[in-house]
């Protein structure tokens, strides 16, 4: 196992490298979520899956933190799903697990 530090906008991996990708509470800080998701799409193998986990999907409630954390943006579950679709993912699904938690998943299209 090795750890490599990189930028979500320019992932330091070759195309079609991974079977799965997970983003847990980090998309709030990405300067361009669709760009970052396109990068994840690029490094996933065909039929690879992505999962986004987000605790804050209510911009009104999340504004408390967004005002205190520079560069933080709160997105709704629907916005996250739209970002995945725009990045090329199919079978995009939203799972709301609690009032504010959600999981958004998608699949890279097969060849």
Q: What is the pLDDT of residues 9-48, one digit of tens each?
A: 999 999 999 999 999 989 989 999 999 999 999 999 999 9
Confidence of residue 90 (pLDDT cuts 50, 70, 90): very high
- Strand pairing class (18-24; 44-54): parallel
Show the DSSP H helices in the chain as ranges: 33-43, 59-66, 77-86
Kind plus residue range of the DSSP H or E element containing 8: none
Amino acid 59: pLDDT: 66
Q: Which residues are within 8 A (CB) of 46 and not within 5 positions of it... i.e. 6 or more apart?
A: 16, 108, 109, 110, 111
Q: Where are the domains of the chain?
A: 18-107
Of 3.40.50.300, 3.40.50.150, 3.40.50.10440, 3.40.50.2300, the CATH number of 18-107 is: 3.40.50.150
């Amino acid at each position: 196992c090795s750890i490599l530090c990189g930028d979500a906008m320019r992932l330091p991996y070759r195309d079609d490298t991974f079977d799965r990708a997970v983003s847990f509470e980090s998309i709030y800080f990405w300067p361009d979520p669709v760009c970052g998701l396109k990068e994840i799409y690029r490094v996933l193998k065909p039929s690879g899956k992505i999962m986004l986990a987000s605790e804050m999907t209510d911009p009104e409630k999340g504004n408390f933190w967004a005002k205190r954390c520079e560069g933080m943006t709160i997105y709704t579950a629907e916005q996250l799903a739209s970002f995945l679709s725009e990045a090329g993912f199919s079978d995009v699904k939203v799972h709301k697990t609690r009032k504010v938690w959600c999981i958004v998943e998608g699949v890279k299209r097969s060849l």
